[in-house]
């Protein structure tokens, strides 16, 4: 889930469709990305090296593990960020009516 892979023409205009399921999916994906970023930054604070240095393979593994943990956190209610985003987006869409 790399942000560089997204292109503006791939993102549907959710406000015009008033697609609540689309809002929920986008909010959960954003929250998962945000949590994965937090996990990555927290891991960066731990000193590398020593007897248990995982090397390049370990970095890939921990990156993938962080993404899956973040998806699990977001899908189980997360930090509440996705609910706040959905509330804001649906309020904005309803105001324009």
- Domain ranges in the chain are 14-42+60-97
- pLDDT-derived band at 19 (thresholds 50, 70, 90) equals low
Task: Please report the pLDDT score of residue 14 as a whole number.
Answer: 45
Calculate the alpha carbon distances from 10 to 5, 16, 63 in Å.
Answer: 10, 15, 25
Residue 20 has pLDDT above 50, yes or no: yes
pLDDT tens profile 22-59:
888 888 899 999 999 999 999 889 887 777 677 778 88
- pLDDT-derived band at 15 (thresholds 50, 70, 90) equals very low
Q: Tell me, letter by letter, the H, E, C secondary structure of 2-53.
A: CHHHCCHHHCCCHHHHCCHHHHHHHHHHHHHHHHHHHHHHHHHCCCCCCCCC
pTM: predicted TM-score of the whole model, two decimal places: 0.68
In whole angstroms, what is the distance from residue 25 CA to residue 50 CA?
41
Residue 87 has pLDDT above 90, yes or no: no
Using the structure block, give the residue that is written with the tokens 């973040």: 70
């Amino acid at each position: 889930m790399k942000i560089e892979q997204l292109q503006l023409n791939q993102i549907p205009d959710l406000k015009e469709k008033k697609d609540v399921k689309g809002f929920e999916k986008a909010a959960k994906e954003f929250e998962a990305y945000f949590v994965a970023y937090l996990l990555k930054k927290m891991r960066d604070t731990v000193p590398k090296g020593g007897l248990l240095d995982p090397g390049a393979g370990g970095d890939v593994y921990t990156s993938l593990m962080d993404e899956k943990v973040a998806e699990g956190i977001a899908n189980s209610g997360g930090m509440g960020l996705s609910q706040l985003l959905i509330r804001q987006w649906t309020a904005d869409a309803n105001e324009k009516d």
